[in-house]
Each structure stands twice: as structure tokens, then as C-alpha cells.
A and B are shown apart, each in its own frame.
Chain A
Amino acid sequence: NAGVMQNPRHLVRRRGQEARLRCSPMKGHSHVYWYRQLPEEGLKFMVYLQKENIIDESGMPKERFSAEFPKEGPSILRIQQVVRGDSAAYFCASCSMANTEAFFGQGTRLTVV
């Protein structure tokens, strides 16, 4: 049973480009969280999704950021027109139901140059 898989592990984008981060949850998990971690800081909640449904996106910036979790395939976090301040590690976590522990992927480190 593979764990939570995120790809790519490292992503470099120029300012103004788009970044797409993928997360495949653990087998049997239908809930996905996305978190952002800036250097020397804790994890900041961005969005919580179920299959085909955004449950809570209160931590997501209103512009340029979007997330989806389609019926088939991985969850995608999409950042349009990236800026230097978007450079961070983005972690995905999955769980089987809303009230169970979440397991994290290895993260995607996004660097905007």
C-alpha cells in the first residue's frame, strides 16, 4: 500500500508561469488536504477536498490559486502567474474520513526564479 505520492518533488518556475502540483492519496483515502510551509514556519492550511468537491478553501489565496480532486486521478494544486513569494514546500495529506489521522506526502518544493 503506497503512501501519499506527490510529484514533482522539486519544481522550478519563472515568474509569471504556471505551477501544477499533483497528489495521489493513499489507497482507500477519499479526503485530501493541501498545506504550504514557508522556511522556518509551521504548516499553513490551504484547502480540503473530497472527490469532486471542495469542502473548505478558507486558507487558499483568492487569486491565482485553485485546487481540484477529480473522480479519477490525483488532486491538483494549480498556481497561475507565480511570484517569488509562492516559493515554499507544498504538502498534501490524505485521510479516509474527516475524523481520522492524516498522512502526508513528501511534499513539492516550489522555487520561483
Chain B
Amino acid sequence: EDKVVQSPLSLVVHEGDTVTLNCSYEVTNFRSLLWYKQEKKAPTFLFMLTSSGIEKKSGRLSSILDKKELFSILNITATQTGDSAVYLCAVAIQGAQKLVFGQGTRLTINP
């Protein structure tokens, strides 16, 4: 069964800290890995990763994929209270045409 596991499930840090969120996967036919940020409602797209070792960056957020070890990390530097959200990792499956989601990491940034 295709599986995506995120850790930690919950994380509380102070504003200004750097955090690293983890996503590991076991899937039959990997196509790409996606990160989403979910605040009150809809998940919003952050990154899509298809190649190993190439860092994607957007402001204070960055992400990288390791297809050999089957994991990805999402880094957030100089965290702000607005970064508080659930961060979802999803893997797109070749052929099955679906996204398999992890449980999410609930990140809380305290001022």
C-alpha cells in the first residue's frame, strides 16, 4: 500500500527559530512530491519536487528531495507567527493518477 509519513506530527517553536519538517514515502511508482500549507481551509501549494538533490526555494521556505532514501524535507528559516499552519506532504503516483497525503505536521510559532 502506498504510504506517506510525516514527522513530527506537531511542533511548537518561537518566532525566529528555524524548523525542518520531514516527509518519507513508500510508493510503487513515484512521480513527484508536493508540499502544501493548510491554514484555516484550503491547502495552498508550496513546492513540487521531481528530481533528487535540487533545492527549491521560495523566500524563507526551501525544500529538497532524496529519491534514494525516499524522503523530503521542508525548511523554514526565521519563522514568523504567520507560518503557523498544518504542512502537508503528498506524493503523486505514476499511473494511478492520484496524490497520497501524509497526516500533516501542525506547526505553531509562538511570538
On A, residues with C-beta under 8 Å from B are 4, 33, 35, 41-45, 48, 55-56, 58-59, 91, 93, 98-99, 101-107
Contact = CB atoms under 8 A, between A and B. Distances in A.
Interface residues of B, number: 23
A35 B101 CA distance: 10
A101 B101 CA distance: 14
Contacts of A106: 41-42
Interface of B: 6, 31-32, 34, 36, 41-45, 48, 88, 90, 92, 96-104
24 contacts: A33-B99, A42-B6, A42-B88, A42-B102, A42-B103, A43-B88, A43-B90, A43-B99, A43-B101, A45-B99, A45-B100, A45-B101, A48-B98, A91-B42, A93-B99, A98-B97, A99-B31, A99-B92, A101-B45, A101-B48, A104-B44, A104-B45, A105-B42, A106-B41
A58 B98 CA distance: 10
A43 B42 contact: no
Contacts of A55: 97
Given A41-B103, A42-B88, A42-B103, A56 B42 contact: no
Contacts of B90: 43
B39 to A, nearest CB: 11
A102 B42 contact: no
Contacts of B92: 99
Contacts of B48: 101
Given A99-B31, A101-B34, A56 B43 contact: no
